Amino acid sequence: MMRTLMVGVASLVFGAAAAVAQEEHAKVRLISETKALMPGKTAWLALHFEIDDKWHLYWNGINDSGFAPRLNPEFPEGYKAGEFLWPAPKRYVQPGDILDHIYENHVTLMFPVEVPGSVAPGERVEFKASPEWLVCHDVCLPGGADVKLTLPVVDQDEGAPASDDAGLFAKARLRLPKPLPKDNVPVVINVAEGKVSIQAVGAAELAYYPGLNGVVYPSLIKEGQRKGDKLVLSFRKGTDGASRLKGVLEVKPQEPGEPMLWQLDVDLESVNKATPGPSDTDTRSRGD
């Protein structure tokens, strides 16, 4: 009780001093990778969230609860925000077989903006957005903010130098899944009897994060992560007939080092049909 009371008092003092009248647990900024825009070029902007210890935000794949952040941009005429590039999340299991995929500590949600070729160097462009999110610990709080960012337009010859936040973009890219290469495919996918096996030879541990608009995984809470180089996931078609394995595979190597993150998008109905022979013949998945 004493502790709670002190927290309350501290919050009030802080609230008064900083005129922050809300409990936040996640702070957001609208950031740019470069200090300026160039006519006709793609600029990379992002929502960067700093998340309080023990609290989390949500990935936009399949979750049992929560809500993935929305940008809600109000950009000037001619500027359109592309989709977020979602970094690979972390699995989060709660009592009652509740499986979510989350971000902790911080997350940078990058998105491209095409700069019109018609803008003139010297102009200043103001980007505004009203992002909303849900931040949760044992409890959930909806969050929202009005953010803005003003960037000058410079000549292409002049070039746009990296901003102070460029490091955050570089860090975010390390957690972005890559499409599977066409050759020397590092992941082998097989389908048999309502199960898909996903193998990355030599891996120490695998985790699968289910994306939207694919098949349904009834037992992902048990099957979605395991030691070794092979995951076997039960699946069935979506009620709309979706038959694709759509999601992200995280491959932890046996040696110390960064995990690999693969974007999987494979039609499970076509797996094992491309090659003649028994149904359990290895079929190399294509990174389409």
Partner 1 sequence: MMTLKSRRILGLIAGMAMMGVAAPSLMAQADAPRGKTPAASQPEKDHKDKDAKPQKDARESNKDGNGTVTIGQTAPAFELKDTEGKTVKLSDFAGKVVVLEWFNPECPYVVKHHGEHKTMVNTYAKYKDKGVVWLAINSGAPGKQGAGLELNAQHKKDWKMEYPILLDESGKVGKAYGSKNTPTMFIIDASGKLAYMGAIDNDNSAKKLGSINYVDQALGQILAKETVSSPVTKAYGCSVKYGGS
Task: Provide the binding-site residues for partner 1, judged by CB under 8 A.
Answer: 1, 3-5, 7-9, 11-12, 15, 21-23, 60, 62, 64-68, 70, 72, 94-98, 100, 130-132, 134, 136-146, 212-213, 216, 218-219, 234, 236, 238-240, 242
Sequence-ordered list of residues with C-beta below 8 angstroms from that of 188, at least 6 positions apart, any chain: 197, 198, 199, 200, 201, 282, 283, 284, 285
Helix (H) or strand (E) holding 163: none
Closest to 180 in 3D by CA, of 108, 287, 76: 287
> Are the CB atoms for 36 and 161 separated by under 8 Å?
yes
Nearer of residues 118 and 239 to partner 1, judged by Cβ: 239
CB of 264 to partner 1, least distance (A): 16
CB of 53 to partner 1, least distance (A): 12
CB of 185 to partner 1, least distance (A): 27
CB of 87 to partner 1, least distance (A): 18
Closest to 249 in 3D by CA, of 207, 221, 186: 207
Nearer of residues 121 and 238 to partner 1, judged by Cβ: 238
Sequence-ordered list of residues with C-beta below 8 angstroms from that of 196, at least 6 positions apart, any chain: 189, 190, 232, 233, 235, 245, 268, 271
Nearer of residues 62 and 160 to partner 1, judged by Cβ: 62
> Are the CB atoms for 56 and 102 separated by under 8 Å?
yes
Nearer of residues 188 and 216 to partner 1, judged by Cβ: 216
| 18 three-state secondary structure | helix
CB of 140 to partner 1, least distance (A): 5
Nearer of residues 14 and 170 to partner 1, judged by Cβ: 14
